[in-house]
A and B are shown apart, each in its own frame.
Chain A
Amino acid sequence: MNAAVGSLFVFNNQLGISMRRAFDRKTPQRLAPVWMALPLLFLFGCGEGPQADEGGAEDAPQVEMDAEGMMPARRQKAFKKIFHAVPSPIETALLLERSGIRFDANALNPIDKAMGYSTTASQAVNLGIYAGDLSYSVIFNQNQQSVDYLNTCRRLCDGLGVGDLIDGDLIERANSNRDVRDSLVQIVTETFYDLNARFRENGMEEVSGLMAAGGWIEGVYLGTRNLASSTEDLKLRIAEQKMTLDNLIGLIDSYPPTGALTRMKRLLSRLESVYANVKITYNEAAATAAEDGTVVISGGPDVQFDDAALEEIANAVAKIRNLYTQ
């Protein structure tokens, strides 16, 4: 099992076993006081203790993890936690903008389709796709469209049970800052950071993985709509997504498999085989100091591709994207 499954499982197993043994020692007749204590355990068993606000928590003696993010260790054996990160939709949109792409409203997934996504899997993937469209709109200063897409994300979040993270106040804040790109960028990144965290907290790894995949797919889809008129820089960026696709598949692999994740992985693996026509030679990278003292990392991967390879990637990505947006 991948180490990324994490400390919680180690802790869970230990706690589960010790609780089972404790209960096994009790006869059914003796269990009554235990049952009566259960609500108290729920109340005090692993809560935050004193409120997690900074001041109060620091003054009180702590047994449970406090606002500072620490508590006595619940396991002894060290382990290695592995994370896989994929570019955020905002990062991808910035990349597209800097590569000279022109805004194409027709390429976006229409807002009114959101009502038709009724399963958890379709909502999760399309939340990622709409996050891509939202980011693209924000970066290209499409102000009203940005607010509309944020509202659409809110609708899907409602369906996924995390609607409180995109509430009326957030929409209002976005609306008030609609002309300030940096503010909108901050609102979007913070919101999707909170969503990712909440999905993890709630054990919704499937949703988290599908959302990340949807965002990645939409970024590459938007970047490949007008390949014939694309700059060389944009073409290189699209080819380089072979590396982020590798990160994305690693991320999906790190989650417990479900039907929806397995299907997504199968589709991404097919895309990976299309990306085989992009050749990457992994050379040694080196860090040097520029004149202003900045550390610059150069060398590393050398990416080779041709237009036919990109055309094939564009078609393959569009097929996957349309499977989920239809």
Chain B
Amino acid sequence: MNVMSNAMTAIKKFSLAAFSLLMVLFCASEADAQCRTFTKKRCLPQLEDYVQNDNYNTAVLIPGDEAELELTFFGDRAYRLLVCGHPVLGDLTFQVLDSRGNGIYDSTDKDDNHFDFRVANTQQMTVRVQVPASDAVIEHEGCVSIMVGSKG
């Protein structure tokens, strides 16, 4: 009887663990799906006539988080770099750094959430995004998307 009881307990524990895992994956998947909806509705239109890069650079972030995107911009082409976040996260700031880590652009104190530029010759650059810290009692998390569009 003891053996049966132990086996039943083990099965239940295993099932609970599996359920926990399923719930976690389910919730994570839901969050990602809703970020995709947010990005398509709120961010994508802001690329206007720039052709979007099909990379999915979107994450759920909280106040104080940072995000970084490393990518290559091709020479003789115009780009729009768009940093689009949920308003609950406050004013996101971002910097563009060259391959040696030197600052090329800083959005701090600027109203725009995007940076339009042309690249004379191919550049490997890093985009660094900051979500401002918050002292709110209840913090919120929100979607942040780094989008790149190109033309010409």
Residues of A in contact with B (beta carbons under 8 Å apart): 6-8, 11-12, 15-16, 19-20, 23, 28, 31, 38, 41-42, 45-48, 52, 54, 64-76, 78-91, 94-95, 98, 185-186, 189-190, 192-198, 200-203, 237, 240, 243-244, 246-247, 250, 282-287, 290, 294-301, 303
Question: Contact: A201 with B32, CB < 8 Å?
Answer: yes
Q: Please, how many angstroms separate the alpha-carbon atoms of A295 and B72 in the complex?
A: 17
Where chain B touches its partner, the secondary structure class is mixed
User: A75's closest neighbor in chain B, by CB?
Assistant: B62
Q: Which residues of A contact B2 (CB under 8 A)?
A: none
Q: Which residues of A contact B76 (CB under 8 A)?
A: 98
Q: Please, how many angstroms separate the alpha-carbon atoms of A244 and B73 in the complex?
A: 9
Given A74-B141, A94-B51, A297-B117, output 6 extra A-B contacts at Cβ < 8 Å.
A65-B34, A70-B142, A80-B66, A88-B55, A91-B51, A301-B121
B22 to chain A, nearest CB (A): 8
Question: Contact: B67 with A82, CB < 8 Å?
Answer: yes
Question: Contact: A16 with B72, CB < 8 Å?
Answer: no
Q: Which residues of A contact B30 (CB under 8 A)?
A: 46-48, 64-65
Question: Contact: B58 with A197, CB < 8 Å?
Answer: yes
User: B122's closest neighbor in chain A, by CB?
Assistant: A240
Question: Contact: A282 with B100, CB < 8 Å?
Answer: yes
Residues of B in contact with A (beta carbons under 8 Å apart): 8-9, 12-13, 16-17, 19-21, 23-39, 41-42, 51-76, 78, 86-89, 98-100, 102, 104-105, 115-125, 133, 138-143, 146, 148, 150
User: A78's closest neighbor in chain B, by CB?
Assistant: B64
Tell me whether A6 and B59 are in contact in the complex, defined as CB-CB below 8 angstroms, given that A78-B65, A82-B70 are known contacts.
yes
A72 to chain B, nearest CB (A): 6
Question: Contact: A244 with B65, CB < 8 Å?
Answer: no
Q: Which residues of B contact A15 (CB under 8 A)?
A: 20, 23-24, 27
Q: Which residues of B contact A45 (CB under 8 A)?
A: 23, 26-27
Question: Contact: A20 with B20, CB < 8 Å?
Answer: yes
B142 to chain A, nearest CB (A): 4
Question: Contact: A28 with B9, CB < 8 Å?
Answer: yes
Question: Contact: A197 with B34, CB < 8 Å?
Answer: no
Q: Which residues of B contact A247 (CB under 8 A)?
A: 70-72, 124
B68 partner, pick from A76, A83, A89, A192, beta carbons under 8 A: A83
A12 partner, pick from B28, B35, B66, B139, beta carbons under 8 A: B28
A81 partner, pick from B29, B33, B65, beta carbons under 8 A: B65
Question: Contact: A284 with B100, CB < 8 Å?
Answer: yes
A259 to chain B, nearest CB (A): 21
Question: Contact: A294 with B74, CB < 8 Å?
Answer: no
In the complex, how many residue pairs between chain A and chain B have their CB atoms under 8 Å apart? 267
Question: Contact: B66 with A78, CB < 8 Å?
Answer: yes
B20 to chain A, nearest CB (A): 4
Question: Contact: B37 with A52, CB < 8 Å?
Answer: yes
Question: Contact: B29 with A67, CB < 8 Å?
Answer: no
Q: Please, how many angstroms separate the alpha-carbon atoms of A89 and B17 in the complex?
A: 41
Question: Contact: B34 with A67, CB < 8 Å?
Answer: yes
Question: Contact: B41 with A90, CB < 8 Å?
Answer: no
Highest count of chain B CB atoms <10 Å: which of A89, A202, A285, A295:
A285
Question: Contact: A46 with B23, CB < 8 Å?
Answer: yes
User: B55's closest neighbor in chain A, by CB?
Assistant: A85
Q: Which residues of A contact B100 (CB under 8 A)?
A: 282-284
A-B pairs with beta carbons under 8 Å apart, 28 shown:
A15-B24, A15-B27, A31-B12, A42-B26, A45-B27, A65-B31, A65-B34, A65-B141, A69-B86, A73-B139, A78-B64, A81-B65, A83-B59, A83-B68, A83-B69, A83-B70, A87-B74, A91-B53, A185-B51, A196-B54, A196-B56, A197-B56, A197-B58, A198-B36, A203-B25, A297-B120, A297-B123, A303-B122
